[in-house]
Structure 1
Amino acid sequence: MGEGALGSLQMRRTLIVMAGFLLLYAGLMYRLVDLQVLQHPELEVEARRNREREILRTPRRGDIVDGRGTLLATSIPARTVCADPMLIGGYAPVVARALAPVLGVSELELQRRLLPRVRQDPATGRWLTNRYVVLARQVPLEQWERIETAMRDLDLGVDVTRLGVRERRMIQQVRRYGVFTDPFEDPVRWYPNGPLAAHVLGYTRVWDREEDGRGVRERRGADGIELTLDGELAGVRGWRVTETDGRRREVVRLRDQDVAPRDGWNVVLTLDAVVQDILERALAEAMERHQPRNITGLVLRPRTGAILAWAVLPNFDPNRLDAAPLEARRNVMITDIMEPGSTFKVVVVGGALNDEVVTLEDVFDCERGRFFYAGRILHDPHPYDRLTVREIVAKSSNIGAAKIGMRLGEARLYEYIRAFGFGSLTGVPLPGEVPGTVPAVKNWYKISIAQIPMGHGVAVTRLQMAMAMAAVANGGVLMAPKLVERLEDGRGGVVAAYAPVAVRRVLREEAARALVEALKTVPTREGTARAAAVPGYTVAGKTGTAQKAEPGRGYVPGKYVSSFIGFLPADRPEVLIAITLDEPQRGYYGGQVAAPVFRQVAERVMQYLGVPPDRPEEAGSALAAAGAKGTAPVRSDRDQSRDVN
């Protein structure tokens, strides 16, 4: 081949190479123009979407406090702990070993979560390795500090001084950025007193839901005050737009797109934590002593309806909700109904006194304890002969109450039952309340006029029965139960205040006063509740012992609801206390199992509230006797058994 031909071949090769470079350059230029000009708007939106993130700013849930400011429920700062599996890579076993004891999870489970996973992006078709995985939610800040320390001191099993710069930098990245917190706030709801007043406070739950195409995690009330006042406690969410890196860590806040949340209001209850504790301790002792299915107690101010204590046992700890049986969470004070038994006699006697169809001194023949009416035999626990209305109340005569009901009449008895609030919701701000069962007169049987006055044939809640007795103590005026005193903002400013609510006048003041006189005889030597007497104070109250009925079985032998409801000082009552035991063992009369609990609570509450005795000479002698013996006088079970009914 000649030199000319060789030169021509080289020239062609050079031209081909140059043409290739020109085509490659043209392609690159086209791609650059395509990205920078033609697709610029779409790519800019996608880049911003990948870079910018709208973070919901969670408001602080309001506190719940008692009337004296004692903290009952609050929110403590917490975080969601996350990890970058791609960054951690082969160090996953070491990280899992270090964090498992701090997080309280198994090392194997933690290692499984830290394994990198590959997925295909449906929008771009690209394969991506996950750089974000949740390790734990609602981690308190102090626990997060321990996690940071564990990562900072992470032992990777290598001598770092012998590693190159690149390897040392990689280890530093794992220690500093391998585990991090999500910018979303994730506070924990905390109840500092554990189970104290749990059935009033309720609890919260965390819900995950979709909103505008994104997942939203929020804490909402699930029971108790937490549920009924959820809107007031929850506050209003804020939001901010921020830039995040590949691991969703916040880089830059866009200050012009930052809306602050409005924290929830604080709820001030009428409860008094000290009175609540006194009540719960007394109920716990009675629970151990009598082994009932459940026991409830209520302490309230008759003049305002303000509830100082509300207790249900068995109870639960809202901090450990998963450990609480469902039955223990039932607020049986308002969710369950019962035949009230003899406490209901205040309705028929009060109505008859109010209509002036009887006086306290009117006499009724109690038939020596057996009264045949409408094909049934009504019984008294003792063979009473002739009793005054006052004595019928004191001795809790069923036959006497039935005859008073007959004199009052079906229509008026029904009207008084409804006027006292039975068959209607009380309006207490707690979920699950039922109205009870009060059959209309047209549905009564012939025996109903005799059975209902003694507390059979109607079904009521324990709260309804307590509020009815409170109406008697309050001069005949029925009050709505008051549980919330006010709402406050974070600085203590009052947002809303709630005044006592008088529902209606049920009895004339004179009739109510006469009924109180009769109720004063119950906790005496002549009455059914000597064990309810409180030294230094005049107590008025009523026992109740109702045999339980079950569907298809009728009244079941050996199953009773036992109660005592009383108030003191009787003529100017400061507190009303209601105690009810469902199916107690080792005794079942109200005067035997409930009245002693009433006395125990009343003595301590009167002392705590500083209520002066209305019979100071009796209080002095009782204290002297207790001091001489070194203990308070205690009556024997045998003595108590004689005055129960």
Structure 2
Amino acid sequence: MMHDLEIQTTLGQQRKLRVLFGFYLAAFIVLALRLCQLHLSPGNMLSDEEMLHITDISLQDARGEIFDRNGVILATNKKAPSMWVDPRRVRAGEEEKLADLIAGRLGMPRDEALRKLARTDENGKPRKFNMIKRWLTDTPEETLEELRTQSNGALSVIQEPIRYYPHQDSAAHLLGFVNRAGEAGEGVEAAFDRHLASRAGVFRVKVDNARRPLSSSTLAYEEPEGGELLQLTLDVNIQHNLEQALDQRMEETLSKAAMGVVMDPHTGAILAMATRPAFNPNDYDKFPAELRKNRAIIDVFEPGSAFKIVAASAALEHGLVTPDTMINCEGGVFNPYGHSIRDFHKMGVEPFSRCFEESSNIAHIKLAAQLGEARLEEWIRKFGFAARTSPDFPLESRGLFQPRNKWSRLSMGSLPMGQEISVTMLQMARAFAVIANGGHMVEPYYVERAVARDGRVTYQHARGEAARILSPKTAGTMQQLCHQVVLHGTGTAANIMEYRAGGKTGTAQMARTDGGRGYDKDRYTTVFAGFAPLANPRVVAVIVVQEPRIKLRYGGYVCGPVFKKVVSEALAAMNVPEDPVTDPEIVAKHEKEMKLAEAARLAAEKKNAPKKPAKPEPPKQVEKVPEADPDTVTEIPLDESLVAMLTPLDGLDLVARRTGDRMETSLPDLTGLTKRQALERLQRIGIPLDAQGAGWVIAQNPPPGTALMDVAVCALQFGRPGQEPAAEALPGDEPKTTM
């Protein structure tokens, strides 16, 4: 028995020893692990109490600015006020009153304001903070202070970063925008976001019970990195001029939309690119997405006769034709491929130079027939159509062009004159650059470089060697042919006397939108594409105006004046040496126009000179103006350069003031007419126009019924129907009193 008891005691002690050993071993392991943890992560030595009073503060740096080629800021950053509320501080029973005040001052629905003042969220949890409205850039500081005061401190204002575009809607489609969350949307903002975006830093500190950082309590710090600076190839002055010219022409021609591009033909650098109507990237969310897209690179259109440079260049390059080659234009009607082709200018047998000058469809279809289907398709692709022009534009369309195996029997009669193919405006600019630069295919681009905050260049546009697709001889011949289009052909409205220019017009019907097949007879796309100066082309420009609502819906008439204005101003601003027109016929015509303009200027000075009070004279009968002899009536054609001056005939008595076959002796009532209608009416009676505003005529001076003999200029105020005329009198002569 004793032996058994000793054995049991020994076993019990061993069991206790094992338990005790296991306990100490577990404690040792826990202690060792804790020591390792503390050794590897010193910050974790803080107690749970201390951890409750540590916070990470996010440090934001500015997004990179965007500049034009001359260092003008196009996109930058600024602070904008945002209003928030501490619902706990809203006095009980005053929620309705405060919601009314917020709704009235900040322009938001009353119910929404009331919800934002609620003390609990949707889940019933108490709220200490709720944003009322952010980025109140249009709200005066006085209004925000009034709200803060009347809320008894429940409302507060904080300053938040916001992207700012100082030139408002200028170059908006190219720049894109940054949304309220700081995310890039479209344009260069999105395409180069990796360079422009900043990287946030972090500041870990101890805070007191009120969440205020304690001094000398920094636990960690990671410095933020500001976004890189981006320099574009744009010239803000050329950009503004292009936009203003497009806006003006849209108004004059009652057009739905317009776009334009100006490019260096030797490098591909884009100097200006505009799409109208525009949007303001500062208020991007107030505009529909359709209006924000860059139609200059996304939308496609049939180029019409501007596309004839492809067949013409190919035929010249293959030696199938020279400028002097005689081509039978069939009297203006031709029936190849079972389809009737017509020319606007009916011609017989003419040299190719004249056929190109007058944009003969028949001549270019015959050239394409000599090329054959395979070579025509090859040259269309050689000129860059059906392919994207540049990696700078990730959303760019390729255009629409079917491969040869899908052509119809009418394709050879359609493609040479710019039908059965749709292109982007940028593709047209690149094609004309080939002619302007002597035969090379360049790559359009608009971002020159990106520069980090420390001065490092992180991106530089790499200009590769441009492939030659035309011989210098062919390119030179095409330059001369395009110059004749501007001097004597369909593009005379684009002629620049100081800089010889070349180009090609295009007019194309637009596809039907009612679901039917074919074209809409009332909707047109008008195009002018060209370059200048001829001696050494420095710019290529393409102007597109869509759906003009005037009688003369031709590319030369609608788009030519925009090209003339934009290109002449750009070359002068670039200090390009003049390359004046020397053609005797054109010089003589220009000198005549200048004399008319000078006479108008002198007459305007005389009209504006102080007048002596008229002495009372006995009443006398107003004699009827005798009918003018048709042989002595001087007809002066409408010229865009003179229309722009508004007073081409001011004070001149060389033109009989007539309306058709009926003589008018008094000024008609022009109220309710558009600017174009009023201008045409006044031109028929030889009265110059002085226009103010936009819209429809709401006031005129002199008033209707004034004798034409007493009218030197008619001043018209334009506005919306029902709008009251301005209180101040319109400029212009007061009607003379006939005594």
Cα distance, 1:414 vs. partner?
A: 0.9
Alignment of 1:18-167 (within 5 A): 50-78=52-80, 81-90=83-92, 105=108, 110=113, 112-117=115-120, 129-138=126-135, 147=144, 151=148, 154=149
Pair 48,292 (structure 1): closer, same or farther in 2 beyond 3 Å: farther
Q: Give 3-state SS (helix, strand or coil) of 1:76's partner.
A: strand
Per the alignment, residue 219 of structure 1 pairs with: 182
From 280, 293, 303, the counterpart of 1:317: 280
Per the alignment, residue 555 of structure 1 pairs with: 519
Q: Distance in 2 between matches of 1:97 and 1:600?
A: 53
1:405 aligns with 2:368: yes
**Aligned-partner residue type, residue 542 of structure 1:** K
Cα distance, 1:42 vs. partner?
A: 12
Identify unmatched segments of 5+ residues in structure 2: 1-42, 605-635, 643-739
Cα distance, 1:505 vs. partner?
A: 1.5
Q: Distance in 2 between matches of 1:117 and 1:452?
A: 68
Q: Distance in 2 between matches of 1:46 and 1:148?
A: 41
Q: Distance in 2 between matches of 1:560 and 1:82?
A: 52
Cα distance, 1:135 vs. partner?
A: 2.8
1:595 aligns with 2:595: no
Q: Give 3-state SS (helix, strand or coil) of 2:484's partner.
A: coil
From 434, 442, 450, the counterpart of 1:471: 434
Cα distance, 1:574 vs. partner?
A: 1.2
Pair 359,118 (structure 1): closer, same or farther in 2 beyond 3 Å: closer
Q: Distance in 1 between matches of 2:570 and 2:307?
A: 26
Per the alignment, residue 285 of structure 1 pairs with: 248
Alignment of 1:333-372 (within 5 A): 333-372=296-335
Q: Report if aligned partners of 2:205, 2:219 keep a CA contact under 8 Å in 1.
A: no
1:576 aligns with 2:547: no
Q: Report if aligned partners of 2:147, 2:155 keep a CA contact under 8 Å in 1.
A: no
Q: Give 3-state SS (helix, strand or coil) of 1:374's partner.
A: helix
Pair 219,545 (structure 1): closer, same or farther in 2 beyond 3 Å: same
Pair 555,545 (structure 1): closer, same or farther in 2 beyond 3 Å: same
Q: Report if aligned partners of 2:493, 2:640 keep a CA contact under 8 Å in 1.
A: no
Q: Report if aligned partners of 1:76, 1:190 keep a CA contact under 8 Å in 2.
A: yes
Cα distance, 1:64 vs. partner?
A: 1.1
**Aligned-partner residue type, residue 577 of structure 1:** A
Per the alignment, residue 601 of structure 2 pairs with: 630
Q: Deviations over 1:167-201 (max 9, x none)?
A: xxxxxxx64xx55567xx84111111110011101
Q: Report if aligned partners of 1:416, 1:506 keep a CA contact under 8 Å in 2.
A: no
Cα distance, 1:52 vs. partner?
A: 3.1
Alignment of 1:209-608 (within 5 A): 218-243=181-206, 255-427=218-390, 429-490=392-453, 494-525=457-488, 527-550=489-512, 552-586=516-550, 587-608=552-573
Q: Deviations over 1:62-91 (max 9, x none)?
A: 111111111111111346543332245449
Q: Give 3-state SS (helix, strand or coil) of 1:577's partner.
A: strand
Cα distance, 1:469 vs. partner?
A: 0.6
Q: Report if aligned partners of 2:263, 2:272 keep a CA contact under 8 Å in 1.
A: yes
From 164, 172, 176, the counterpart of 1:198: 172
**Aligned-partner residue type, residue 417 of structure 2:** M
**Aligned-partner residue type, residue 509 of structure 1:** P
**Aligned-partner residue type, residue 134 of structure 2:** R
Q: Give 3-state SS (helix, strand or coil) of 2:221's partner.
A: strand
Q: Report if aligned partners of 2:303, 2:508 keep a CA contact under 8 Å in 1.
A: yes
Cα distance, 1:313 vs. partner?
A: 0.7
Cα distance, 1:564 vs. partner?
A: 0.5
Q: Deviations over 1:146-180 (max 9, x none)?
A: 856864xx368xxxxxxxxxxxxxxxxx64xx555
Per the alignment, residue 214 of structure 1 pairs with: none
Pair 374,95 (structure 1): closer, same or farther in 2 beyond 3 Å: closer
Tell which deviates more after alignment, 611-620 or 500-509: 611-620
**Aligned-partner residue type, residue 403 of structure 1:** K
Q: Report if aligned partners of 1:59, 1:234 keep a CA contact under 8 Å in 2.
A: no
Q: Report if aligned partners of 2:524, 2:553 keep a CA contact under 8 Å in 1.
A: yes
Tell which deviates more after alignment, 471-480 or 438-447: 438-447
TM-score (norm 1): 0.78
Pair 268,438 (structure 1): closer, same or farther in 2 beyond 3 Å: same
Cα distance, 1:55 vs. partner?
A: 3.2
Cα distance, 1:337 vs. partner?
A: 1.2
**Aligned-partner residue type, residue 528 of structure 2:** F
Q: Deviations over 1:105-152 (max 9, x none)?
A: 5777545533422898xxxxxx9642222233345799789856864x
Q: Distance in 2 between matches of 1:438 and 1:271?
A: 30
Q: Percent identity?
A: 33
Q: Give 3-state SS (helix, strand or coil) of 1:594's partner.
A: helix
Q: Distance in 2 between matches of 1:135 and 1:639?
A: 54
**Aligned-partner residue type, residue 73 of structure 1:** A
Identify unmatched segments of 5+ residues in structure 1: 1-40, 121-126, 157-173, 207-217, 641-645
Cα distance, 1:397 vs. partner?
A: 0.4
Tell which deviates more after alignment, 553-562 or 459-468: 553-562
Pair 245,365 (structure 1): closer, same or farther in 2 beyond 3 Å: farther
Pair 489,361 (structure 1): closer, same or farther in 2 beyond 3 Å: same
Tell which deviates more after alignment, 441-450 or 527-536: 441-450
Q: Going by fraction, where is strand more abundant, 1 or 2?
A: 1
Q: Distance in 2 between matches of 1:329 and 1:511?
A: 40
Q: Report if aligned partners of 2:320, 2:370 keep a CA contact under 8 Å in 1.
A: yes
Q: Report if aligned partners of 1:89, 1:115 keep a CA contact under 8 Å in 2.
A: no
CA RMSD, Structure 1 to Structure 2 (Å): 3.4
**Aligned-partner residue type, residue 195 of structure 1:** D
Q: Deviations over 1:21-46 (max 9, x none)?
A: xxxxxxxxxxxxxxxxxxxx999876
Pair 356,113 (structure 1): closer, same or farther in 2 beyond 3 Å: same
Q: Distance in 2 between matches of 1:155 and 1:280?
A: 46
**Aligned-partner residue type, residue 161 of structure 2:** P
Cα distance, 1:429 vs. partner?
A: 1.9
Q: Report if aligned partners of 2:260, 2:425 keep a CA contact under 8 Å in 1.
A: no
TM-score (norm 2): 0.69
Tell which deviates more after alignment, 69-78 or 136-145: 136-145
Cα distance, 1:459 vs. partner?
A: 1.3
Q: Give 3-state SS (helix, strand or coil) of 1:55's partner.
A: strand
How many residues in Structure 1 have an aligned counterpart in Structure 2? 558
Q: Distance in 1 between matches of 2:65 and 2:506?
A: 38
Q: Report if aligned partners of 1:532, 1:596 keep a CA contact under 8 Å in 2.
A: yes
Q: Distance in 2 between matches of 1:523 and 1:508?
A: 23
Cα distance, 1:566 vs. partner?
A: 1.1
**Aligned-partner residue type, residue 592 of structure 1:** Y
